[in-house]
Amino acid sequence: PVSKPLSGKKAVVTSGPTYEPIDPVRYIANRSSGKQGHAIAAALAAAGADVTLVSGPVSLPDPMGVKVVRIETARQMLDAVLAALPADIAVCAAAVADWRVAEEAGQKLKKDGSGVIADLKLSENPDILATLSQKGPKRPQLVIGFAAETENVIEHARAKRARKGCDWILANDVAPGTGTFGGDHNEIFLISGVDATSDETWPRQGKNGVARALAERIIQHFA
Ligand code: PMT
């Protein structure tokens, strides 16, 4: 018999980029492929969890046994995540755009021939991980975020964990040349406590391996 240690647990996972529209044909986005978030959703489902995957636009197949909700913008991602609650586990692997264009143009923006480019005014997007981490009856028991950093990875990730209020944070280096955004491999530094005694450095491995290792940690947590 296959063991399903997370059966009876509900999980919500975010994955991929968000697209923030500028006008009907243009958007602001980033290089996230969704590979890491989708692999995590698949690993949790394989362990028996009831998984809702809220994903930005990606070109990956839906993971087996997972309910997939497709969105484009950060605000849509927040709404879909809140609609998936209550959940026992939340994992935020999406690369959510921190800003959106304040006023999306109704028509395609035109060059006006002046050689001057119109300013894009930006507004801050909601922070999904921070919202999920807020104390309250709907807070998932275990809220896990990622920290995508290009320098001082561990220090910045530790500060991010405190600021956002999540339980664990998986820090990964996304500096140019690492291939973390879009690639097949990842190297994780797990911060699961206030001091360094519980920190773990995982060897560089495939994103599926990272996902299985995280599912293993989650299983231990609930055991
Ligand atoms: O998709 P892949 O190509 O496989 O690449 C994987 C990845 C590099 C995108 C992934 O491993 C990763 O690091 N995801 C988080 C990317 C990110 O935007 O990190 P951040 O440090 O800016 O954000 C910190 C945390 O807050 C993340 O959990 C993020 O999902 C969350 N967040 C951020 C902003 C926001 N408005 N809402 C959020 O929930």
Known binder of ligand: residue 88? no
Tens of pLDDT along 148-171? 999 999 999 999 999 999 999 999
- pLDDT of residue 19 exceeding 70, the answer is yes
Mean pLDDT of all residues belonging to the chain: 96
* C-alpha 32 to ligand 1 mean position (Å): 9
User: Is 203 inside a domain boundary?
Assistant: yes
Please, which pLDDT band fits residue 3 given cuts at 50, 70 and 90?
confident
- pLDDT of residue 8 exceeding 70, the answer is yes
CA nearest 93: which of 139, 133, 34, 47?
34
User: Is 195 inside a domain boundary?
Assistant: yes
For position 207, what pLDDT does the model report?
98
The CA–CA distances, whole Å, from 48 to 37, 93, 102, 144 equal: 17, 20, 41, 18
ipTM of the predicted assembly exceeds 0.95: yes
The parent domain of residue 185 ranges over 10-98+121-222
Nearest ligand 1 atom to alpha carbon 147? 21
Q: Is 125 a catalytic residue?
A: no
Known binder of ligand: residue 98? yes
Comparing 118 with 12, the larger pLDDT belongs to 12
For position 77, what pLDDT does the model report?
98
The amino acid present at 76, given as its one-letter code, is Q
Q: Where residue 30 sits, what CATH number does that domain have? A: 3.40.50.10300
* C-alpha 192 to ligand 1 mean position (Å): 17
- pLDDT of residue 195 exceeding 90, the answer is no
Q: Is the CB of 148 within 6 Å of ligand 1?
A: yes
Tens of pLDDT along 129-143? 999 999 999 999 999
Q: Residues of the chain with pLDDT > 70: what percent?
A: 100
- pLDDT of residue 191 exceeding 90, the answer is yes
For position 1, what pLDDT does the model report?
59
Tens of pLDDT along 24-82? 999 999 999 999 999 999 999 999 999 999 999 999 999 999 999 999 999 999 999 99
User: Is 104 inside a domain boundary?
Assistant: no
Enter the pTM of the model. 0.97
User: Is 152 inside a domain boundary?
Assistant: yes
For 109, the token pair is: 């923006």
Q: Residues of the chain with pLDDT > 90: what percent?
A: 91
User: Is 41 inside a domain boundary?
Assistant: yes
User: Is 30 inside a domain boundary?
Assistant: yes
Instruction: Domain count for the chain, please give it.
Output: 1
- pLDDT of residue 121 exceeding 80, the answer is yes
User: Is 108 inside a domain boundary?
Assistant: no
User: Is 111 inside a domain boundary?
Assistant: no
